[in-house]
A = this chain, B = another copy of it.
Amino acid sequence: MNIAFIGLGQMGQAIAHNLLKRNHTLTVFNRSRAKADTLIQAGAHWADTPASAVAEAEVVFTMLSDDAALHEVALGEFGFLAALPEGAIHISCSTISPETARQLAEQHQTRKTKYVACPVFGKPDAAQAAKLWLCTSGNQGAKENVRPLLDLIGQGVYDFGDEVGAANVVKLAGNFLLGCAIEAMAEAFTLGEKNGVARSAMYDLFSNTLFASPVYKNYGKLIADEVYQPVGASPALIRKDMRLLLDVAQKSLVPMPFGMVVFQQLTATVAKGVPDIDWAGFAGEVSENAGVGKR
């Protein structure tokens, strides 16, 4: 297939490489060209604009950092939407608001192209290993058509129906659950630490028994060790996701006390200018407020 890929951060590059492996024709665009180098070496074509990237595309993937960036590559000057061939499908992997997804889907419909919401769960290493979990929503036929591509980049697909915003609600909810697990472990481990129980001892118990799951194992280790490196995603980036979550909650009248706590911990982390750490490092707020901060 003829595929365009727009947005080559850590996640985008990893996904694009997995698409290349199956000999699909891949044309890529990114704001800064340097990030396309290894993909071009691996056989991808470079395009100077989003619009030129999709000139012959059957499918265009986008993986951008936020709603504004997606809006720009789709609808800005040299945006791809107007250039997308009729019948082509846009697989939108970014974590964005359901509202933006709905607006874009409408624009596609007007132009006889299609929008599939496909936000993903997983860190960059999971993306490289094609072990992402994918959430889809939108037009049924389009989803079926692109399914073989999705199977190249993830280990499973969960579908949330026709309403195009649904998958984004789920993605935001997932990041929220993650943030809750981080805060909860931070509080528990800090309580242990101040009462003579090693952070790692509590981590060993819970991550191997009641909470034996990827999130508690992986994020739990960072929190137990208080080492928030490498940076999978920055506090500012995930804070943006939590803001989108609280926007959805606000519009649909859902009080979310945990959501508010997590948002505030991330806000404090960003406001204090804590340097280069993974977003899980907001766990350090708990230690700091207990007088045992090491961050």
**A interface bracket (residues with beta carbon within 8 Å of B):** 35 or more
The answer to the question of A204 belonging to the interface, with a C-beta cut-off of 8 Å to chain B, is yes
The answer to the question of A146 belonging to the interface, with a C-beta cut-off of 8 Å to chain B, is no
The answer to the question of A147 belonging to the interface, with a C-beta cut-off of 8 Å to chain B, is no
The answer to the question of A180 belonging to the interface, with a C-beta cut-off of 8 Å to chain B, is yes
Residues of B within 8 A of A212 (CB): 213-214
Flag if B259 contacts A261 (CB, 8 Å): no
The answer to the question of A78 belonging to the interface, with a C-beta cut-off of 8 Å to chain B, is no
Given known A-B contacts A177-B184, A180-B184, A195-B248, A205 and B135 have beta carbons under 8 A apart: yes
Residues of B within 8 A of A285 (CB): 289
Flag if B166 contacts A195 (CB, 8 Å): yes
Flag if A180 contacts B177 (CB, 8 Å): no
Flag if A197 contacts B271 (CB, 8 Å): no
The answer to the question of A148 belonging to the interface, with a C-beta cut-off of 8 Å to chain B, is no
The answer to the question of A273 belonging to the interface, with a C-beta cut-off of 8 Å to chain B, is yes
Instruction: Give the number of times this chain occurs in the complex, counting copies.
Output: 4
Flag if B196 contacts A173 (CB, 8 Å): no
CB-CB contacts below 8 Å: A112-167 with B:
121, 133, 135, 156, 158, 160-161, 163, 165-166
The answer to the question of A252 belonging to the interface, with a C-beta cut-off of 8 Å to chain B, is yes
Residues of B within 8 A of A184 (CB): 176-177, 180-181, 184, 258
Flag if A267 contacts B250 (CB, 8 Å): yes
The answer to the question of A230 belonging to the interface, with a C-beta cut-off of 8 Å to chain B, is no
The answer to the question of A275 belonging to the interface, with a C-beta cut-off of 8 Å to chain B, is no
Residues of B within 8 A of A255 (CB): 264, 267-268, 271, 286, 289-290
A residues bordering B, Cβ < 8 Å? 98, 121, 133, 135, 156, 158, 160-161, 163, 165-166, 169-170, 173-174, 176-178, 180-181, 183-185, 187-188, 190-192, 194-197, 201-202, 204-206, 209-216, 243, 245, 248-250, 252-261, 264, 267-268, 270-273, 285-286, 288-291
